[in-house]
Homo-oligomer: A and B are copies of this chain.
Amino acid sequence: MASHFADRLCDAVKTKKTSLIVGLDPVYTRLPSAIRSHRQMNDEFDAAAAVDAIFDFCTQAMRIVAPMVPAVKINIAFFEKYLWEGLETYYSLISEADELGLEIIGDVKRGDIGHTAAAYAAAHLENPELAGLEDNLAPDAITVNGYTGADGIEPFADMADKQGKGIFVLVRTSNPSAAEIQDFTDADGQAMYEKLADVVAQIANKDERIGNYGYSNVGMVVGGTAPRVTTALRQKYDKVWFLVPGYGSQGAEAADCVRFCKPDGTGALINASRSIIYAYEKPKYKGQFGDDWKRCIEQAVIDAKVDLANAMQTLI
């Protein structure tokens, strides 16, 4: 396996023939009833039973998607609700994903300054060497909030370098009120997110961060729901991987998302979370596969891959 994170991404995208990745945002009350009912638990307020169900669901979902997609994105927020029991489950899932050969993005959105940024980087990117925890892995990459500027981002990039891992820095998010802050524009017409993208690119484009395929291990998170910004960013930052949320439930179209890809299909990871993992809630799949929630998830991945592949054809 390639020791450079961006090289591993290229290999994985080429092998799986898609830029689609699956996001795990598990919410207990939305899990399939088969998962919730077959175990001895009081109710959703039983923490140990809830995290057990979440682990079971996520593991099974990952086994379904692993042959079809290059990576999973695990959203730590949905584990932190269960305090340390949730965090233990998060790390257990990372080990499961690793065994399945998936690249793993820890969607942790950490960000701070100085020694605190370094502590977060150690916590979330360094494989633990601590006795008692040494069997655990940190994810292959994490998401980082870069509002504090370059010296808040660099400790994460440095740790990623040391560990053969990567980071994706939030540049332009896909929520309605993002514009007010991130599109804030200076006298020369440069938007805030463009300024931040420049700061990230300066860190990303350092020679020692560029892998064999020409990509950096430092990437950017840019929402798929802002298509007008996409082409410009793709052209301007040709060494950067984009992590693109918003495809599926958040309303970004395939045609918008694939603009982040280069013609060979590399350069972007297009994330779908709820539209995949809760596919069994949709009449479209429920009607076809009944209570077979695994088959629903499988078909949702197939459909999303076809949707993105078709959009790529149109683009090229």
A contacts, CB < 8 Å to B = 25, 42, 45-48, 50, 75, 77-78, 80-88, 91, 107, 109-117, 119-120, 122-124, 128-133, 136, 145-152, 170, 173-182, 184-187, 192, 195-196, 199, 250
Question: B152 near A180 (CB under 8 angstroms)?
Answer: no
Question: A185 near B186 (CB under 8 angstroms)?
Answer: yes
Taken together, the copies of this chain in the complex come to: 2
Which of A77, A87, A178 is packed against the most chain B CB atoms within 10 Å?
A77
Having A42-B131, A85-B132, A145-B145, one finds 16 other A-B pairs with CB under 8 Å, namely A47-B131, A47-B133, A77-B112, A77-B119, A81-B122, A81-B123, A82-B130, A83-B88, A113-B175, A114-B250, A148-B173, A149-B179, A181-B192, A181-B195, A185-B187, A186-B186
Which of A82, A130, A136, A173 is packed against the most chain B CB atoms within 10 Å?
A130
Question: A149 near B133 (CB under 8 angstroms)?
Answer: no
Q: Which residues of B contact A192 (CB under 8 A)?
A: 181, 184, 192
Residue of B nearest to A41 (CB): B131
Question: A187 near B184 (CB under 8 angstroms)?
Answer: no
Nearest Cβ distance between residue A44 and chain B, in whole angstroms?
9
Q: Give the complex CA separation of A71 and B107 in angstroms.
A: 31
Q: Give the complex CA separation of A75 and B123 in angstroms.
A: 13
Question: B113 near A112 (CB under 8 angstroms)?
Answer: no
Q: Which residues of B contact A115 (CB under 8 A)?
A: 25
Nearest Cβ distance between residue A3 and chain B, in whole angstroms?
24
Nearest Cβ distance between residue A130 and chain B, in whole angstroms?
4
Nearest Cβ distance between residue A37 and chain B, in whole angstroms?
18
